[in-house]
Structures are given as C-alpha cells and as structure tokens.
Amino acid sequence: MFGKKSYLKTLETRKQEILAQSDVTRIELLRDWESLKTELQRVKKQVLTAGSIASSAVVVAAAASVLRRKHEPPKTETHAKVPWVAAALNGAKVGASLFMKLRSLTRERR
C-alpha cells in the first residue's frame, strides 16, 4: 500500500506542475498576442501614411505630366506616339521618386 501512495503523490505532483506550466504558457501567449496587436497597429498606421503620401505623389505626378504635355510643341506625324505603357512607367518613376523624397522628409522630422 505504501508504494501506491507514493506513486499517486508523484502523479499528483506531476499534474500540478503541468497545470502551473499551462498557466505560464497561457500568460505568455496573451502577452505575445498583445505585442502582435500593437505591432500590427503600428504597421497599419505606417501603411496608411505611406498610402496617403503615395496617392498625393500620384496626383502631383499626374498634374506634372499634364502640365508638361501642354508646354511641349505639337508633335508632327513623323514622331511616333509614346505607348501608354511607357507613359505609365514614366509616371510611376516620378511618383516613386516623389514618394521616396517625401518619406525621407517625414523621417527627418521625427
């Protein structure tokens, strides 16, 4: 009978250890979850800021493109028209350069 009590005490002790470890793991999971939520909110804010800057840069690039075309002399028929893909890529280049410049300026402010 003495052996059975010892074996049961060992099992009960092991059960208590597992329950304690489970509580610790649960607390760590909750902390990690809160950290993840905080990080996602920070990333979301940065993405929204970048999106608004990018959309503003696209508007500026489009306006610059329109103004630039108004001041160009009329093309003769010998010049080939610029394909829309090339025009879109040029606009994207201008937008990207404006975006990078604005991003560097906002980082300097911080």
Would the pLDDT of 57 be above 80? no
- For 27-37, what is each residue's pLDDT tens digit? 999 999 999 99
Q: Region 45-53: what's the mean pLDDT?
A: 84
pLDDT score for 97: 80
Look at the block and give the residue holding tokens 């040029």: 90
Q: Region 53-61: what's the mean pLDDT?
A: 79
pLDDT-based confidence at 5, cuts 50/70/90? low
pLDDT score for 77: 57
pLDDT-based confidence at 38, cuts 50/70/90? very high
pLDDT score for 59: 78
Average pLDDT score, the chain = 80
pLDDT score for 53: 82
